[in-house]
Amino acid sequence: MARTHGVHMTTQTTKSSAPPGSEGRQRFTESPWATLVAIAFGVMMVALDGTIVAVANPAIGASLGASLAELQWVTHGYLLGLAVFLITAGKIGDRFGYRNTYLVGVVGFVLASVAIALSSGVVMLIAFRIVQGIFGALLLPSAMGLLRSSFPPSKLGRAFGVFGSLIGAATAGGPILGGVLVGAFSWEAVFYINVPVGAVALGLGLWLLAANKATDAGSRMDVPGIVLVSVAIFALVWALVEAPSTGWAHPVTLVSLGAAVLFGVAFVLWERRPEQPLIPLGLFAHPSVSIGVVLTVAMALGLMGSLFFITFYLQGVRGLSPAQTGLQLISMTAMMAVTSPIAGRVLDRVGAKLPTTIGLLSASAGMFLLSRLEADTGVVYISAAFVLLGVGLSLVMTGATAAIIGNAPVRFAGVASAVQQAAMQLGGSLGTAVLGAVMSATIISTLPGHYAASGLAEPSSGELADMQSTVAQGGAVLPEGADAGMAAAVTQASNLAFLDGLHLAFGIAAVVMLAAAGLSLFMKAGKMTDGPAVHI
């Protein structure tokens, strides 16, 4: 009794001497929403760096003399580091605690960003982008694990909606911020910006996140599983990156794809063991989880693929500055930021199926409109397409995330989040690789015809190979000593070939999302509750 009374008196004394408002601050820090505030800047920083370089790519290419393939590696190197390490990072978060894993990811991400900005060559830049992706992989699943373990199931949809809004706004806002930074300073600024953002993320994490606690502390690290899945994902991403430049039938591409299949099958067979697998395959027994993974891939394919090439259209074909390009994309950014929280509330009421299906249909319509772009398409038309795309992608991101992570046990929240994020990164790589291959093939096949129609001599096969990279970036290869008339004709022919590729590539993306909308109809209806069974 004495000990109880003493504690009681201490508590009373603290309350009476506490400054005004301290009780409210304490209630907030103990609320699950404090967790969301704490991870906001870290999550946005990682998502931002996936797309902020889209607008900076032309400046990086000009500054470092990078080819289209090398510029793709600036994007893919980051995605490679993320994708390869995500599953392992998710397990690390489950095993050693989400808070510590998150904070290590924040610090490492900022240091890697500074190293990228200081790079003197494109190879060094790509190498540090891979390192940056690895630390981003530590950060993202642990952040989602913190959400999953902090919020009750009945409020998870709302939390995922806000989380999706953060990722969506940062992903789509990357080109806007990148345009401003590149226009006002230089391409290095898009990486230096992570220093102040990371400092805020670290400070909030130290202040608001609860003490570190492992949710799956008794498990062991599945080293063979880690090796198998890492090699499989690395080989797959490598093939997707190299195929557009080397060709899908090239030995390097075929060997990489073969290795991805071989190690992927070996991983699945190994994970069927009942003793502490890296990824419990039972997670995929729920149809909403499996379908959610596929829908995440489709969503990322459209988002990353479109953002990569739409910036070349706006800057190369339309002649907009980086800042103007970012402003043109603001309609998509605004819609993703506004729609995701609303989608989360709807999801809590009706489940993930309906909003996800509507989102895919909206995104498909937006991609179809973008597939009809011409050299003189008006701002209103482009903005309308971006609105449809932004609304659709935010609905899909929120719904698919809830479908995957909401159905996973809390102790596997890190791994489930890693699966969702890996699907998103692989979808992004698939989008830029496949759409890039379509762009390149179309340009090579149509450029001679456009040259001939403009009264120019058709380029030889060797010249076509040299020109393809520049034309795919919305530019034109002008002959030495070309007068104004010839320069205009070459530019027009090159832009028309670029648009041919853009039409086909974005048309394919629209069809993929439409097919995904059909698949989403097979998700289970229902909503998450605080009862013992959690279903979507």
Q: Range of 242's domain?
A: 223-275
Average pLDDT rounded to a whole number, residues 5-26: 45
Do residue 298 and residue 439 come from a single domain?
yes
Whether 51 shows a pLDDT value over 50: the answer reads yes
Longest CA–CA separation in the chain, Å: 99
Question: What average pLDDT score do residues 512-534 get?
Answer: 70
Return the higher-pLDDT residue of 424 and 452.
Answer: 452
Is residue 207 domain-shared with residue 270, that is, in the same domain? no
97 close to 413: Cβ distance less than 8 angstroms: no
Of 10 and 513, more confident: 513
2 falls in which pLDDT band (50, 70, 90)? very low
Most trustworthy range by pLDDT among 333-342, 374-383, 426-435: 374-383
> For 84-120, what is each residue's pLDDT tens digit?
888 888 888 877 888 889 999 999 999 999 999 888 8
- Checking if the pLDDT of 73 tops 70, the result is yes
What pLDDT is attached to residue 113?
A: 92
Q: Which residues contact 141 (CB under 8 A, 6 or more apart)?
A: 86, 89, 90, 93, 414, 415, 417, 418, 421
Asked, for residue 507, whether it belongs to a domain, the answer is yes
Position 534 confidence tier, pLDDT thresholds 50, 70, 90: very low
pLDDT score, position 497: 92
- Domain check: are 101 and 184 in the same one? yes
Q: Which of 352, 393, 293, 364 is nearest to 521 (CA)?
A: 352
Predicted TM-score (pTM) of this structure: 0.73
Q: What is the mean pLDDT of residues 463-478?
A: 82
Say yes or no: 58 and 110 in one domain.
Answer: yes
Last-in-domain residue among 258, 275, 292: 275
| Owner of token pair 């000990």 | 3
d(CA 369, CA 382): 8
Spatial contact of 158 and 348, defined as CB atoms under 8 Å apart: yes
Q: What is the mean pLDDT of residues 159-170?
A: 71
Q: Average the pLDDT over each of 167-181, 193-207, 420-434, 520-534 and give the range with the smallest value.
A: 520-534
21 within domain boundaries: no
In a domain, 481, yes or no: no
pLDDT per position as a tens digit, 249-305? 888 888 999 999 999 899 888 877 767 777 777 777 777 788 888 888 888 887 777
Q: Is the dihedral of CA 451, 457, 458, 464 positive or negative?
A: negative
What is the rounded CA–CA span in Å between residue 386 and residue 195? Answer: 30
Alpha helix stretches (DSSP H) within 313-412: 322-328, 330-350, 353-370, 379-405
Same domain, 227 and 286: no
Structural domains in the chain (count): 2
> pLDDT at position 315, please?
85
Amino acid occupying residue 286: H
pLDDT of residue 187: 83
Q: Give residue for tokens 């419990």.
A: 280
- The answer to whether residue 468 is domain-embedded is no
Closest by Cα among 366, 516, 336, 521 to 427: 516
Of 34-38, 169-173, 394-398, the least confident: 169-173
pLDDT tier at 9, thresholds 50, 70, 90: very low
CATH code where residue 310 lies: 1.20.1250.20
Owner of token pair 């479109």: 306
Q: Which residue has the tokens 């605080």?
A: 530
Task: Tell which phi-psi region holds residue 65, choosing left (phi > 0), alpha (psi between -120 and 50) or beta.
Answer: left
Q: Are residues 239 and 289 in the same domain?
A: no
Rg (Cα) of the chain, in Å, rounded?
24
pLDDT, residue 23, reads: 54
Higher pLDDT, 40 or 502: 502
| Mean pLDDT computed over 44-55 | 76
In a domain, 511, yes or no: yes
The stretch 193-209 carries a mean pLDDT of 89
Contact at 8 Å (CB) between 106 and 198?
yes
Instruction: Establish if 342 belongs to a structural domain.
Output: yes
How much is the pLDDT for 77? 81
